[in-house]
Amino acid sequence: MSPLSVVSWNVNSVRVRLSQVAAVLAETQPDVVCLQETRVADGSFPAKAFAEMGYAHQALYGMKTHNGVAVLARRPFRAVERYAWCGQRDCRHIAVRLAEGPWLHNLYIPAGGDVPDPESNPRFAHKLDFLDALTAWFAGAGTPREPAILVGDLNVAPLPTDVWSHEKMLKVVSHTPPEVARLDSLADAASWVDAVRHVIPPREHLYTWWSYRTRDWKAGNRGRRLDHAWVTPDLAPAIRDAFTRPETRDWERPSDHIPVGLSLDGG
């Protein structure tokens, strides 16, 4: 495998945030870009702009107004797969096989609404069902038989240090025990390694999302680590670096998420 660098970012509208994405890519120069919540149908995706940035190889899975994922690369794809879970083609999971590289899964897991009760909140029920379906697939037909990477907005902050207050967040969607248990099961399904926490120790608080509802996000720093980068065990020794870019949350009209980066050595 050639050395590989990946940047993943829930941009909350790729067209609104295009100049910001361009700035991050100019700084970080990744080989591959994975975007979530692109919010645009494939025919309206700013493909030419990304090609001019050097990302001519593009795998898109988008829809008008909602959701959407995209993988943009400097190198060709050997294969592209798009998945629909729970009977809904809602554009949340795309995977590519990179030329001279691993499979890469780009995911946007449902947020789940505000009430952590599957009986009264269908959106939360869908989130749990989505995680269950994805876990079953990775434990069976989707089990990586070759090196693989999984990135994206998984919408779960699993560790106590992934939220600003573990005690206060236990009943808040994204950090509830049912969600954390399911994310753990998803990780176990393919023995995924949390590449970011491989570099940034679990004892350190780390966030990738801050609510728009908080006017001064820095003052309270009530963040959550919802965005992740995982690798299969055979790639763990190749992890060279992982990073976030919190300064982007301070930009004009920012996404509520920040970029997550991963670098792997070749071998």
- For residue range 176-214, list pLDDT tens digits in order: 999 999 999 999 999 999 999 999 999 999 999 999 988
Secondary structure (DSSP) of 33-91: EEEE---S-GGGS-HHHHHHTT--EEEEE--SSS--EEEEESS-EEEEEEEEETTEEEE
Q: Give alpha helix (H) positions in the chain.
A: 18-28, 47-52, 122-139, 166-169, 177-189, 195-199, 217-220
Range of the domain at 77: 4-264
Helix (H) or strand (E) holding 103: strand 103-108
CATH code (residue 83): 3.60.10.10
Report residue 150 CA to chain centroid gap.
8
Report residue 231 CA to chain centroid gap.
13
What is the pLDDT averaged over residues 90-108? 96
- For residue range 44-97, list pLDDT tens digits in order: 999 999 999 999 999 999 999 999 999 999 999 999 999 999 999 999 999 999
Alpha carbons within 13 A on the beta-carbon side of 9: 31
Domain count, the chain: 1
pLDDT attached to residue 12: 97
Quote the CA–CA distance of 52 and 222 in Å, as a whole number: 37
DSSP character at residue 10: E
Confidence of residue 266 (pLDDT cuts 50, 70, 90): confident
Which comes out higher in pLDDT, residue 267 or 235?
A: 235
Quote the CA–CA distance of 255 and 86 in Å, as a whole number: 27
Confidence of residue 100 (pLDDT cuts 50, 70, 90): confident
pLDDT attached to residue 267: 65
Q: What is the mean pLDDT of the chain?
A: 96
Q: Is 169 left (phi over 0), alpha (psi -120 to 50) or beta?
A: alpha
Reduced to 3 states, what is the DSSP secondary structure of residue 217? Answer: helix
- For residue range 5-34, list pLDDT tens digits in order: 999 999 999 999 999 999 999 999 999 999
What is the C-alpha radius of gyration for the chain, rounded to an integer number of angstroms?
A: 17
pLDDT attached to residue 65: 93
Q: Which residues pair with 181 in a beta bridge?
A: none
- For residue range 143-158, list pLDDT tens digits in order: 888 999 999 999 999 9
Q: Which residues contact 6 (CB under 8 A, 6 or more apart)?
A: 30, 31, 32, 33, 34, 104, 149, 151, 229, 261, 262, 263
What is the pLDDT averaged over residues 126-151? 95
pLDDT attached to residue 1: 77
Q: Which residues contact 216 (CB under 8 A, 6 or more apart)?
A: none
Quote the CA–CA distance of 181 and 132 in Å, as a whole number: 10
Confidence of residue 243 (pLDDT cuts 50, 70, 90): very high
- For residue range 110-125, list pLDDT tens digits in order: 999 999 999 999 999 9
Reduced to 3 states, what is the DSSP secondary structure of residue 32? Answer: strand
Give the position of tokens 């090609």: 51
- For residue range 79-94, list pLDDT tens digits in order: 999 999 999 999 999 9
What is the pLDDT averaged over residues 214-240? 94
pLDDT attached to residue 6: 98
Selection from 51, 4, 58 nearest residue 35 by Cα: 58
